[in-house]
Amino acid sequence: MKHIFFDLDGTLLPMDPGVFGKGYFAGLTKYFAQYGYEPNTFMEALKGAVYKMFENDGSRTNEELFFEYFLPVVNKTKEECEPLMDTFYREHFPDIVKETCGYNEKAKEAIRILKEKGYKIYILTNPLFPPLATQARIKQAGINLDDIFYVTTYDNSTFTKPNTKYYEEVMHKFGITSDEVLMVGNDTREDMVITKLGVPCYLIEDDLINRDNLSIDGVMHGSFDEFLDYLSKLEDAK
């Protein structure tokens, strides 16, 4: 094994999706309202664009699909909209993340252990956000971006979780075979699906999400403390 795929939200970054979502959408809508974006129309455009990304067939990036749907609904151009998004995610979003998400020192420790053992570390968070938004959440988790080999964002991905092609895309990009990697997550639907590709999975149960009430008996699972113990016993990367 040479590579470790980490989910972010609820895995490395403690998060209640409902609390985060409420704060995020409220903050984003309020910010754009200052610039003449009608809140209800804005939310309709945002939710519809996210839905389109989930439907991506791999022919375009998620970013391209997002703007293709979003811009006509809000009646704006990308040149008008994108600078506002960049400013929001750079200057305002980090505060929202800080207010709505937790922090777990053990996440930083997990990265330290794996780096010392020579593993390449990837953050495979659902690529629905631009890089600035994902970087803000990684920083809130206390993780140094320089320690991460690759991060999925909406501009470098053409699929989303739980589509297995999302994982295949990353594995193909870096020539990773199923016996060379471990997936670490907290969501039985979005993260455990990688086992269909023959990739082992470790589910961290501190913020476990199991919408479908799936059995986790067939995968490794445990608390973050148990996960750290598992990592301490891993051999160095080959």
pLDDT, tens digit, 9 for 90 and up, residues 151-193: 999 999 999 999 999 999 999 999 999 999 999 999 999 999 9
What local confidence, expressed as pLDDT, does residue 238 receive? 81
Residue/partner pairs of 208-216 with CB below 8 Å, 24 or more apart: 209/10, 209/17, 212/188, 214/188, 214/189, 216/188, 216/192
Mean pLDDT along residues 110-134: 98
pLDDT value, residue 61: 98
What's the pLDDT score for residue 173?
98
pLDDT of residue 122 exceeding 90: yes
Q: Give me the pLDDT at residue 167, please.
A: 98
Query: Whole-angstrom distance between the N-terminal and C-terminal Cα of the chain?
Result: 7
Encode pLDDT of 33-79 as tens digits: 999 999 999 999 999 999 999 999 999 999 999 999 999 999 999 99
Q: What is the pLDDT of residue 159?
A: 98
Q: Which pTM does this prediction carry?
A: 0.96
Taking alpha carbons only, the member of 118, 76, 88 closest to residue 234 is 118
pLDDT of residue 66: 98
Residue 92 has pLDDT above 90, yes or no: yes
> What pLDDT, on the 0 to 100 scale, is given for residue 102?
96
Confidence of residue 11 (pLDDT cuts 50, 70, 90): very high
Domain 3-15+102-232 superfamily per CATH? HAD superfamily/HAD-like (3.40.50.1000)
How much is the average pLDDT of 88-112?
97
User: Residue 32 — very low, low, confident or very high, per pLDDT cuts 50/70/90?
Assistant: very high
Closest CA to 197 of 217, 211, 183: 183
